[in-house]
Amino acid sequence: MNRLLVLVRHGQSDWNLKNLFTGWKDPDLTDLGIEEAITAGRRLKAMDVQFDVAFTSNLSRAQRTCTLLLEALGQPGLPTLADEALNERDYGDLSGLNKDDARARWGEDQVHLWRRSYDVKPPGGESLKDTVARVLPYYLREILPRVMRGERVLVAAHGNSLRALVMVLDGLTPETIPSMELSTGIPLVYRLKADTTVEDKKVLDA
């Protein structure tokens, strides 16, 4: 029983490059983002990792990352389940705004609070706490049971939806999780114990 769970944040998107709040908006990957996704697949292949199923969000940047990664891994066409439960945090009225422009409009402290607090939500959007509240039930219902049955599972999603999973896996708190950064296109490789806690974690960076 491998109990393998790999988390990958999507490759750089066009709006990441432009420093825009993205949320549920749906920009595509940049050329760098495409290369990050392919490189992630190659790094997993070098470890002889293979998957039984993949999960992703309803947003194209995560779906394309998943597809490119699996092609580079030599597993095109792997069964893949998409669900909005794994979507990025909804930034509401901030979506599409340049982060520097938002700071000029609302002030550095307020924008920092929206971005980095656990339970303060931007206007019309979700807090990280709200994101955790939709991601974790989906994880417990759909993803974790497969891992515990010995399936090898890939999750290609977003910085904040994956933070919700890392919060549980790494035992982080509402105080520590907001400052934790997930780099684009870098696989986090977990192996779980029989009690669902983490036996081993590897970060496949350069």
List Cβ neighbours of 107 (8 Å cut-off, separation of 6 or more).
Answer: none
Instruction: Please give the distance of CA 133 from its chain centroid, rounded to a whole number.
Output: 15
Max CA-CA distance within the chain?
53
Catalytic residue among 10, 36, 126, 158: 10
Tell me which residue of 94, 83, 88 sits closest to 61, measured CA to CA: 88
- Is 10 a known active-site residue? yes
CA distance 168 to 155: 15
8 Å CB contact between 64 and 37: yes
CB atoms within 10 A of CB 99: 14
- Is 199 a known active-site residue? no
Catalytic residue among 35, 36, 88, 142: 88
CA distance 88 to 10: 10
8 Å CB contact between 8 and 56: no
Read off the tokens for 95. Answer: 């979506």
8 Å CB contact between 122 and 142: no
Tell me which residue of 116, 92, 111, 131 sits closest to 181, measured CA to CA: 116
Active-site residue set: 10, 88
